Amino acid sequence: MLASIKCVVKYTMEEYKLYTLVDITHTQQYRPSAGILHWQEQNFNTVLQTLGIRANIIYNHSPDITEVKGSLVGFDTDEIVRAWRFDFYTERENVYEIDHDPVGLLKEDFMLIPYIAGLNEAMEQKYAVFNPETPGNNISFFKK
């Protein structure tokens, strides 16, 4: 007689958010003839692909533009900054954790990843690469 085996699969969605000073507007414009809309989409795709190195990413909304005091969202300024906020989820727990930092691997993965500059960013960056470290960071991560 065959034994009946029950398998219980538990899915836990881990919630994260990122803030960036880089224009990652999700325009859905994939042709270069779309000009700036295409380059914004390319930056958004860069973010998705980098997030997806370690996990499958799920998101319900495109990045939102917000104006907020920089230090409240992880930047090294008390000035009001224009930032893109992107909320996303993973299907695995603690996928980005390293050395007790729940977003440590995100910081490592995004370090020096190039992006397309000169779009709708409010702050000029010296180099067109993501930098999650202070001073001079242009992207920050939080686990909810």
Per-residue pLDDT reduced to its tens digit, 42-57: 999 999 999 999 999 9
Retrieve residue 64's tokens.
Answer: 């939102």
pLDDT at 112: 97
Retrieve residue 113's tokens.
Answer: 């990843």
Q: 3 falls in which pLDDT band (50, 70, 90)?
A: low
Which of 52, 82, 58, 85 has its CA nearest to residue 70?
Answer: 82
Q: Which helix (H) or strand (E) is 139 found in, with range? A: strand 139-143
Could you tell me where the DSSP H helices lie in the chain? 36-51, 104-110
How far is 98 from 139, CA to CA, in rounded Å? 18
Q: 124 falls in which pLDDT band (50, 70, 90)?
A: confident
Bridge partners for 20 per DSSP: 84, 139
Q: With beta carbons less than 8 A apart as the criterion, state whether 27 and 63 touch.
A: no
In this structure, the strands spanning 14-20 and 64-69 are: unpaired
Per-residue pLDDT reduced to its tens digit, 55-107: 999 999 999 999 999 999 999 999 999 999 999 999 989 999 999 999 999 99
DSSP state at residue 13: P
pTM (two decimals): 0.88
Provide DSSP, 1-63. -PPP--------PEEEEEEESS--------SGGGTHHHHHHHHHHHHHHHHTTTS-EE-SS--
Residue 2 has pLDDT above 90, yes or no: no
